[in-house]
Structure 1
Amino acid sequence: AEATRERLATELRTLPEKMRVMKEELVTLSDLEKLRDEGEEQKKALETELKQLKEKLSPTESAVLEATNKLKSIQASLDGNEMYTKLNALEEQLAQLETRKTVLEEDIASITLKADYEPLKKQAIDELALLNKKIIEDLSSIKSY
């Protein structure tokens, strides 16, 4: 019973809005002649646009076909050209050399990091200085006797 009351209350609240929308639709639909005329105008406009596009289609297709044939012709003449073939081979060789150069640079950087003797050199010099100091002290103590 409670659910039915809520549904009825909701229906009563939305009823004025539904009626307003239906009246607007009724006004629109009652002028059926106007709707037909508008639909006919849209149809004619679309047919005209379709005709124009079809007229443009043929020249466009022939231009694309002509460009494709020209491209094929140029490609065929290039493929038969010795200089073009050599240039392609040199470009491939250059790409391989650049790759090899990158690998070698990485190897050199890795080896350089492994061969960093600077800390070891500093430690050796410090040890040497300490030994020299001790020798000097020992020599000084011997002279004292």
Structure 2
Amino acid sequence: MRRRRTPSAISEEEQIARYAYVLGNVPASVADRAYAAAFTRLSAGQRQEIVDDLRSQLPVAPQEPASEDPVEFAVLMRDLHARNALVRIPGAATLAAEFVASPPIAAYFTVGAGSVTMDQQPPWIHDLAGHDTAPIDGGRMHHRRGADSGEWYA
């Protein structure tokens, strides 16, 4: 039986830190899908606010008007200036939380290449992927009867 940790409130700074960690550990193709999925999960008002705030923070605003298309948003987020600006806007923590919890990120750490490195991931990644973090042996040193169990010396 799996035991899940009870969800606790996560600060905006922690949301941004988790976003940065995940972004640094997934391939660009997974990040693109995660940006699109996260953007889709926001309300229309939140999407418009994030796009407007991003445009005002970028050193060179995109030529085209702000779009609410998730794929175009993912393309915009390939730009390092946009990623830098994202963490400084008011709605950043909300988007960061949706990015981290998005299905592409969960899939990457559940069945994708990220699942291979689960032992090196922080506990919140284990929770995201539904990975059991309990020790395999439950504290027992040996799993089989044998020389170290004392049964051979009877």
Provide TM-score, normalisation by structure 2: 0.21
Q: Which has the higher helix share?
A: 1
> Which protein has greater RCO, CA pairs closer than 8 Å, 6+ apart?
2
Provide TM-score, normalisation by structure 1: 0.22
